[in-house]
Amino acid sequence: MRGVSRLDDLRRVEQALVRISRISNGRVAARYRTQRAGVVLSRPAITILTELRESGPVRLSLLARLTDLEAPLISREVRELSGVGYVRRTADPTDGRAGIVELTPEGRSAIHSYREATDEIISETFAGWGENDLRDLSVLLDRVSEDFARSPDRVERGLHSAS
């Protein structure tokens, strides 16, 4: 009897990753998390606010690179986020033609509420898992994430170093 091949295992991994991504990042899941958090945010807005929370004030061009979102989408989302008071746009002090975007206290509060709701959902999802299983999964997912970050297509686009 022939065992499962490496290619079969890789396909199962890919299928599981795609399924997890669809379930956790789909419209229904995003809507549920934002409703539970009590905020109205689009998926790109969540990405932008999260990045700004982690990176601090940045130029719009760098924000596009960091989030891997297209510049027109970044501009539109930042305009909308600015309109509701979640971000502030200012001129770059080193180059007045460039714009800097930063979180406002309201934006920080909104993404904090979203993060708390997400943490609660993740906690509920893995409620039946033991500490060792969670730790093992965390280590493996960190490894997967790093390997994907170093994938040739991301290196080519300048989104990660080849080292």
Residues sharing a CB contact under 8 Å with residue 81, sequence separation 6 or more, in sequence order: 45, 48, 49, 87, 107
117-149, pLDDT tens digit by residue? 999 999 999 999 999 999 999 999 999 998 888
- Rounded Cα distance, 23 and 136, in Å: 22
Q: Please name the helix (run of DSSP H) or strand (run of DSSP E) that holds residue 91, with its range, or none.
A: strand 87-92
CATH hierarchy code of domain 6-125:
1.10.10.10
69-121, pLDDT tens digit by residue? 999 999 999 999 999 999 999 988 888 788 899 999 999 999 999 999 999 99
- What φ, ψ does residue 96 adopt, rounded to 5°? -60, -15
Q: What residue spans define the domains of the chain?
A: 6-125
26: three-class secondary structure by DSSP: coil
